[in-house]
Structure 1
C-alpha cells in the first residue's frame, strides 16, 4: 500500500478495532491507559471549573484556567516531541501518567488559591503535552503497518467516548464525594493508567545518524526544521491547522446560535454541542471499518471538507434540529481527518523524527485553536453566529481546496525521494 492508502487483493486482511483490542496486548494496554486517563481528566476539568467559579466568582478566572490548560503547553511542544524521540516511549508515557497523577493529588489535597492552582494545572498540562506525541509515536511499534488506520480510529473512538462521558460521571460523583473526591478520582485514574502501561514491551528510540551530536534543544530545533523542509508533512500540518483556525470558533458560535438566533433554551445548547461528539463516535467506528477502502489522501481531504461544510451549512440552518443534523455529520469529518492525519504521518515520517512531528503538530493545533477563539470572538461581536459559521466554513473549504491541489504532488515527490536521510522506511510504500 502506498503512503496515501489503498490496498491490493494480495495484501493480508486488515484487523478490525475489536480484533486489535482482543489480539494485540500492547495496543490494548495503550488504548486502556488512554481511555482511563482521558476519562479521569474530563472528570477533573468539570470539578476545577466549578471550583474556580465558586471561589472567585469571575468568568475571567475560568478562562485563565482553560487557557493555562490548553494553550500554554503548546508553546513547549517542540521540547515535548523531542523528549519522545530521545527516550524509551514506554518509560516516557509511564512517567507522564504518574507525574500527572501526583500533580492532581496535590491539587485535590490542598485546593490551593488561584495563582498556585494555575501553576499546578499548567504543570500537569505540560506533562500531558509530552505524553500525546509519545502515545502516537508508539502506535507503529505496537501494530503492523496495515493496521494503522484501525488502531488510530479505535484509539480516537475510545478517548472521545471517555471525554464525552467524563462530565456525566462528574455530575453523578460530585454530590456523592464532593470536589476533592472527584479530583482524587482523576489522580487515581492517572496512576492506574501508568500501571497498565507497565505491561507494554520496551519501545526504545530510533538511533540518531552516525556522527550527529544531539541534545534536547538541538533535537527540538531539528524537529521544527524537519517540518519546514519536508513538503508533504508541512502541507498536512498546515492544512490541519488552517481547518482548526477557521472552525475552532464553532463551540462559542453554536451557543449563540441556539440562544440568540433560534431563541432556544439551554437544552438546545447542549444538543448542538453534543451533536459533534456523537458524530465523532460514529465517524471513528466507520473509519475503523471502512477507511482502508479509500486512499488516506482522499480520507484527509474529505475530512477537511465535511468538517468545514458542516459549519457552513449550520450557518444556513433555520432550527435546532437542522443544526443538530449538520453538526452530527460534521463529526464524521473530524474523525476522518484525525485518522488520516495520524496514519499519514506515521507512514511518512522517519521513526527518529515521529515524536517531534506529532509534538509540533499538537502544539500548532493549540495555537490555531486559540487564534480561532480570539478572532472568532471579535467576529461574533461584529456580526452574528450564522455569519460567523458561514465565514468559518467557507474559509475551511478554501483551505481544503488548497490542500487537495498541493497534497498529491508533494506526496509523489516524497515517495520518489525515498532513501534520502530524512525519508522513512519502506512503510511509506506498503
Structure 2
C-alpha cells in the first residue's frame, strides 16, 4: 500500500511541478520567479524539518500521512482553480511542500513497522525504486497531458493523485510509534530530536557525511546543463538525455539492492555510495573534452545514480536500525532538512564557481570535494565509539 501510494503521489507531484514551472516561466518571463518556485518547494520545507519530525513521532503515522496527502490535494486544487498571482502561488506551493515534509519522515519511520528486520534493505530499495520511476514518469506525463488538459487540468490530475494516495494509505495498519514518546510541546519535541542527532556519534557522522557530500556535489545538475549546452554543444534532446542518465543509474541501483542488498554491510554501502556518486561527477568533468564525451558523460552520470541509490538505501536502513522508534521521525526529518539546506547552499557556492571557471572544472572540484568527504566519513565511522 505504501509503495503504491508513494508511486502515485510522486508521479503527480513531479507532473504538477513541471506544469507550474512552465506556467510561471510563460506568465512572468522571469527566471527569478522560476527559481523562487523551486526554493518554495525544496528549501522552505527544510526550515520546519525539526517540527515535522516531532509530529511524525507524536501521532499515528498512518493518519498523519493521510492528512498530509489531503492537505497537499487541497493546496494543489486551490492553485488549479485560481492560478493565483506569483506571490500567492509561492505561498500555496510552500504549504504543499511543508505537508510533504511532514509526510516524508513519517513514511520512512513507518517502514520498520511494515517489514521484518531482515526485509529493511529490500523494503527501502523498493520504496526508492518506485518513487524514482514515478519521478522519471512525471515529466513524460506532463509532456503528454499538457497539450490536451492545460495547466489547470494537469494540476487537477495531481490533486486527484494525492486523494488516491490517501485512499491507498487507509489500507495500512495503525502506525503509532512503538515506544510511547514523552508528552511534550512541539517545540521541546523538536529540540529533543536535534539533541539526539548531536549526541549520538554514529548518527551524527552519517548526517554530517551526507550533508558534506551534498554540499560539495549538489551543484552537479546545474553544471551538467551548462556542460551539455556550452561545453559539448548538444541539442536540447541530448542535454535532456544526459540529465536523465542519473535516473537510469538510480533505477538500476535500487533494483540491484532490492535483490542483493541484504548481503552488503550498510556502513560500507553508505561510504561507497558517497564515493561513487562523487567520482561520477569528477570523471564527468575529466572526460568532458574527449572525442566520445557524450557517451562518457552519460556513463559517468549513470554511475552517479548508482551511488545515490546506495546512499539512500544505506542511510535509511542504518537509521532505522540505530534510532529508537520514538525518535525516528525526528531524526529522518532533521537529516533530510539539513540535506536540503546543504543542496541550496551548494547551488549558491557552486554557481559562483561555475561563473568563475567552467562546467568541467566545477564538476571536478565538486567530485573531489565529495570524495574527500567520503574518506573523512569512512575514517570517522571506523573510529566511532557509541
TM superposition score category, shorter chain reference: over 0.9
For 1:144-174, what per-residue CA distance to the aligned partner results, in whole angstroms no more than 9, with x for missing partners? 0100000000000000100011010011001
Is 1:353 paired with 2:327?
A: yes
Give yes or no for contact 1:85–1:206 (8 Å, CA) kept in 2: no
| Superposition deviation, residue 205 in structure 1 | 2.2
Is 1:223 paired with 2:197?
A: no
Give yes or no for contact 1:77–1:130 (8 Å, CA) kept in 2: yes
Is 1:32 paired with 2:4?
A: yes
What is the TM-score when the length of structure 2 is the normalising length?
A: 0.97
- Unpaired stretches in structure 2, ≥5 consecutive residues: none
Please list, as runs of the form range in 1=range in 2, the aligned pairs for 1:309-324 lying within 5 A after superposition.
309-317=279-287, 318=290, 319-324=293-298
* In 2: Cα distance, 1:276 partner to 1:320 partner: 14
- Unpaired stretches in structure 1, ≥5 consecutive residues: 1-28, 415-430
* In 1: Cα distance, 2:208 partner to 2:136 partner: 28
Q: Which of the numbers 247, 257, 268 marks the counterpart of 2:217? A: 247
What SS does the aligned partner of 2:48 have? helix
Is 1:303 paired with 2:273?
A: yes
Please list, as runs of the form range in 1=range in 2, the aligned pairs for 1:85-124 lying within 5 A after superposition.
85-124=57-96
Match of 2:312 in 1: 338
* In 2: Cα distance, 1:89 partner to 1:384 partner: 46
Q: Which of the numbers 147, 150, 159 marks the counterpart of 2:122? A: 150
* In 1: Cα distance, 2:128 partner to 2:294 partner: 27
Aligned residues: 382
Please list, as runs of the form range in 1=range in 2, the aligned pairs for 1:110-189 lying within 5 A after superposition.
110-189=82-161
Please list, as runs of the form range in 1=range in 2, the aligned pairs for 1:24-103 lying within 5 A after superposition.
29-103=1-75
Is 1:404 paired with 2:374?
A: no
The 1:122–1:161 alpha-carbon spacing in structure 2 relative to 1, beyond 3 Å, is same
For 1:307-348, what per-residue CA distance to the aligned partner results, in whole angstroms no more than 9, with x for missing partners? 000000001112111111111111111101110000000000
| Superposition deviation, residue 293 in structure 1 | 1.5
What SS does the aligned partner of 2:84 have? coil
Please list, as runs of the form range in 1=range in 2, the aligned pairs for 1:181-330 lying within 5 A after superposition.
181-208=153-180, 214-317=184-287, 318=290, 319-330=293-304
| Superposition deviation, residue 263 in structure 1 | 1.9
| Superposition deviation, residue 294 in structure 1 | 1.7
What is the TM-score when the length of structure 1 is the normalising length?
A: 0.88
Q: Which of the numbers 356, 359, 363 marks the counterpart of 1:389? A: 363
Give yes or no for contact 1:70–1:125 (8 Å, CA) kept in 2: yes
Give yes or no for contact 2:53–2:333 (8 Å, CA) kept in 1: yes
* In 2: Cα distance, 1:114 partner to 1:403 partner: 42
Give yes or no for contact 2:179–2:325 (8 Å, CA) kept in 1: no
Give the alignment's Cα RMSD to 1 decimal.
1.0
Match of 1:418 in 2: none
| Superposition deviation, residue 208 in structure 1 | 4.3
More helix by share: 2
For 1:15-48, what per-residue CA distance to the aligned partner results, in whole angstroms no more than 9, with x for missing partners? xxxxxxxxxxxxxx01110110000001100110
Give yes or no for contact 1:65–1:121 (8 Å, CA) kept in 2: yes
Q: Which has the larger radius of gyration?
A: 1
Q: Which of the numbers 336, 347, 362 marks the counterpart of 1:362? A: 336
* In 2: Cα distance, 1:332 partner to 1:213 partner: 41
For 1:235-290, what per-residue CA distance to the aligned partner results, in whole angstroms no more than 9, with x for missing partners? 00111111111111011100111122212222221121010011100010011111
* In 2: Cα distance, 1:372 partner to 1:386 partner: 16
